Amino acid sequence: MPIQRIKKFGKGIQEDLKILLTYFKLSLSGNKVDRRTNFRKCSSPVLLIYGFGAGRRVMHILERRLRRDGFCVFSLNLGGVFGTFNTHCIEALSKLVKRKIKTLRERYRLPKISIIGHSKGGLIGQYYVKRLQGDRHVKTLITLGTPHYGNPLVLLGLVSPLAIVSKSVWQMYPLAPFLRRLNRGRFPKNVRFVSIYSKKDKICYYKSAILKIPRNTRNMKNIELENIGHVDYLIKKEAYQVIRRELTTSS
């Protein structure tokens, strides 16, 4: 029995390392992506927003699966240090999202859009929907491992060079003024808000990813996934199956 457990543990470590290697390889490959979306034939538009310290291509596997299942997928270059890594402040990035969605919907007469945000990307999506009237253009917001109430690990960033080059580091620690302002008031009732989290997530403390849902609120929900790390939301099939189910769930 001990040998079987050791083998199982070793297999798990090997799988985790493989996933991490894939993530970092995609992240370091930059923000350039091939333009494949035909917005003139786009009945189910989905915007992908990647997280802090990552590049646009980390969403590649999730994007490929969504396209295969008939979704019209696109992302944005969020820039940052060295032109990548998503280090700009959340308000500015949310305004970028607002401009892009407004332009696309007006030009191509797109239906309402679904947003999937990983980690910090979920905060960008939430700020857009809640503070920039994004509820007029969005039907569903799905966040993956997003620190809605702050990430304790960010406190380490405050005593590192990150605090100098990235304003968003100051926005994501627990009880940060930005998060307190963002969480004031009710989330728009006309947008489905789904927070997907995991207790195995070692980057985003799971309790921070659990939405505090007011009583009798039907458009918000939390979903816990088993054995999913912070990177796994974007790569593992079991995470994708939940994401796809929530995208196809009507309001």
Mean pLDDT of the region 224-244? 97
Residue 138: pLDDT band (50, 70, 90) is: very high
The answer on pLDDT for 62 being more than 80 is yes
The answer on pLDDT for 79 being more than 60 is yes
Q: Which residues contact 120 (CB under 8 A, 6 or more apart)?
A: 51, 52, 86, 90, 146, 147, 168, 172
Domains of the chain, earliest start first: 2-247 (3.40.50.1820)
109 phi-psi bin (left φ>0, alpha ψ -120 to 50, beta other)? left
Counting Cβ atoms within 10 Å, is residue 210 exposed (0-12), middle (13-18) or buried (19+)?
Answer: middle
What are 166's strand-pairing partners? none
pLDDT (tens digit per residue) in 3-53: 665 555 455 555 655 565 665 556 566 666 677 899 999 999 999 999 998
Q: Is the CA virtual torsion 51, 56, 59, 65 positive or negative?
A: positive
Rounded CA separation 36/49 (Å):
17
The answer on pLDDT for 220 being more than 80 is yes
Per the structure block, which two tokens stand in for 231? 């990177």
Mean pLDDT of the region 99-124? 98
Predicted pLDDT at 2? 63
Give the global pTM: 0.90
pLDDT (tens digit per residue) in 149-175: 999 999 998 988 888 889 999 999 999
